[in-house]
């Protein structure tokens, strides 16, 4: 381990914002070689409360997060935001605008905002995200908001692994409740109907309430909060709903289950990443090439090639981490 790594970790744990920012950049670029760093941070993790926010593109997630931050500043609630964007930085002009908007709100010491984008050369956003959450946690932020657009399984996984999952919907979209049925209903701990000044808010609320009672009574009654994020309306109620869910989880012991879900996801993404790397390396092996040639010639079964591959992948020594 380089002394630079130990020094960076020490500064991060001491609350140095620049050290946290640098760490997140490193993770974005190369999550695969961060084991040593993560080990240094480990004793300082496990204290933050994570809040996942998801919803369709344009639902108002970023505006809502901005309003949550303003509220947090007014109430001295130190809050960090990780905005995950699975889209490439090169194809998405919105990123630049988002970053600039974010920089303005990070002028206050009580908030920290960072947007993260998948890097084609790194392990991808899904591998970096759990490590990033741990880094922000170790840096001493008591609240971590994870914002992500509600498309893609790895993005959904991470909001679902948050302690409180907030799903943002808008009124007036005919198929809104359909999309809720298709997966978001199960993961929501809190529903937000944003743009609630619009027609269709009462109908959407009614539909959601009906959906929520379908499976019979549940220990946690999922609240439906109406917001107008661009006006800062409903934000106090949203923080209250999040705190109520937190209190419920502490008292029921569910918080531990959530933590385990987070760790499971974090380990799973590392395994998947390592496995993909090994697959790509094993693919270049002469034995595998030979087995492939036999397959193409119609002389062996698919499983024969996969057996050779698996053996190469399993016998590979663990790559040293830096």
Ligand X SMILES: Nc1nc2c(ncn2[C@@H]2O[C@H](COP(=O)(O)OP(=O)(O)OP(=O)(O)O)[C@@H](O)[C@H]2O)c(=O)[nH]1
Which parts of this chain interact with ligand X (CB under 6 A)?
Answer: 55, 57-63, 94, 149, 194-195, 228-230
Query: Cβ of residue 197: shortest distance to ligand X, in angstroms?
Result: 6
Query: Cβ of residue 185: shortest distance to ligand X, in angstroms?
Result: 19
Residue 55 or 223: the one with the smaller Cβ distance to ligand X is 55
Q: Cα separations (Å) of 288 from 271, 285, 297, 301?
A: 22, 5, 14, 13
Residue 24 or 84: the one with the smaller Cβ distance to Mg ion is 84
* Partner from ligand X, Mg ion, none binding residue 208, C-beta < 5-8 Å depending on class: none
φ/ψ of 173, rounded to 5, equals -95, 115
Query: Cβ of residue 57: shortest distance to ligand X, in angstroms?
Result: 4
Torsion sign (Cα): 82, 86, 90, 94: negative
Identify whether the C-beta of residue 129 lies closer than 8 Å to the C-beta of residue 116. yes
* Partner from Mg ion, ligand X, none binding residue 242, C-beta < 5-8 Å depending on class: none
Query: To 5 degrees, how large is the angle CA 131–CA 274–CA 36?
Result: 45
Q: Contacts with Mg ion in 37-66 (CB under 5 A)?
A: 61-62
Q: Is 115 in the site for Mg ion (CB under 5 A)?
A: no
Per DSSP, helices labelled H in the chain are 3-13, 17-29, 35-41, 61-74, 94-105, 125-138, 153-160, 176-179, 185-187, 201-214, 235-252, 254-282, 286-296, 302-315
* Partner from Mg ion, ligand X, none binding residue 15, C-beta < 5-8 Å depending on class: none
- Count residues binding Mg ion (CB under 5 A): 2
Distant-in-sequence contacts of 245-248, Cβ < 8 A, 24+ apart: 245/164, 245/189, 245/190, 245/220, 246/49, 246/163, 246/164, 248/219, 248/220
Query: Cβ of residue 242: shortest distance to ligand X, in angstroms?
Result: 18
* Partner from Mg ion, ligand X, none binding residue 63, C-beta < 5-8 Å depending on class: ligand X
Q: Closest Cα partner for 146 from 247, 62, 87, 78?
A: 62
* Partner from Mg ion, ligand X, none binding residue 60, C-beta < 5-8 Å depending on class: ligand X
Residue 6 or 151: the one with the smaller Cβ distance to ligand X is 151
* Partner from Mg ion, ligand X, none binding residue 58, C-beta < 5-8 Å depending on class: ligand X
Query: Cβ of residue 54: shortest distance to ligand X, in angstroms?
Result: 9
* Partner from Mg ion, ligand X, none binding residue 229, C-beta < 5-8 Å depending on class: ligand X
Based on its alpha-carbon atoms, the radius of gyration of the chain, rounded to whole angstroms, reads 22
Burial of 272 (0-12, 13-18, 19+ CB in 10 A): middle
Query: Cβ of residue 113: shortest distance to Mg ion, in angstroms?
Result: 12
Query: To 5 degrees, how large is the angle CA 116–CA 139–CA 2?
Result: 85
Q: Is 148 in the site for Mg ion (CB under 5 A)?
A: no
Residue 134 or 195: the one with the smaller Cβ distance to ligand X is 195
> Which positions touch Mg ion (CB under 5 A)?
61-62
């Amino acid at each position: 381990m380089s002394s630079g790594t130990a020094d960076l970790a020490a500064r991060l744990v001491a609350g140095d914002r620049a050290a946290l920012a640098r760490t997140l950049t490193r993770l974005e670029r190369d999550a695969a070689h961060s084991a040593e760093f993560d080990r240094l941070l480990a004793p300082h993790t496990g204290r933050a409360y994570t809040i996942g926010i998801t919803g369709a593109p344009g639902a108002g997630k970023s505006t809502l997060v901005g309003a949550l931050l303003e509220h947090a500043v007014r109430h001295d609630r130190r809050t960090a935001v990780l905005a995950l964007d699975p889209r490439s930085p090169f194809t998405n002009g919105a990123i630049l605008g988002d970053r600039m908007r974010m920089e303005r709100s990070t002028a206050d010491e009580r908030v920290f905002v960072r947007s993260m984008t998948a890097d084609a050369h790194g392990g991808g956003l899904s591998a970096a995200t759990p490590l990033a959450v741990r880094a922000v946690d170790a840096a001493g932020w008591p609240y971590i908001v994870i914002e992500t657009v509600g498309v893609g399984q790895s993005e959904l996984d991470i909001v679902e692994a948050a302690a409180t999952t907030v799903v943002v919907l808008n009124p007036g979209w005919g198929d809104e409740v359909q999309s809720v049925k298709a997966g978001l209903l199960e993961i929501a701990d809190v529903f937000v109907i944003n743009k609630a000044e619009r027609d269709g808010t009462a109908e959407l609320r009614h539909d959601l309430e009906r959906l929520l009672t379908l499976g019979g009574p549940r220990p946690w009654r999922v609240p439906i909060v109406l917001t107008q994020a661009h006006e800062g309306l409903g934000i106090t109620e949203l923080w209250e709903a999040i705190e109520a869910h937190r209190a419920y989880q502490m008292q029921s012991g569910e918080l531990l289950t959530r933590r385990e879900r987070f760790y499971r996801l974090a380990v799973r993404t590392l395994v998947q990443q390592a496995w993909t790397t090994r697959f790509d390396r094993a693919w270049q092996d002469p034995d595998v090439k030979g087995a492939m040639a036999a397959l193409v010639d119609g002389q062996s079964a698919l499983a024969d090639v996969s057996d050779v591959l698996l053996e190469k992948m399993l016998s590979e020594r663990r790559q040293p981490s830096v």
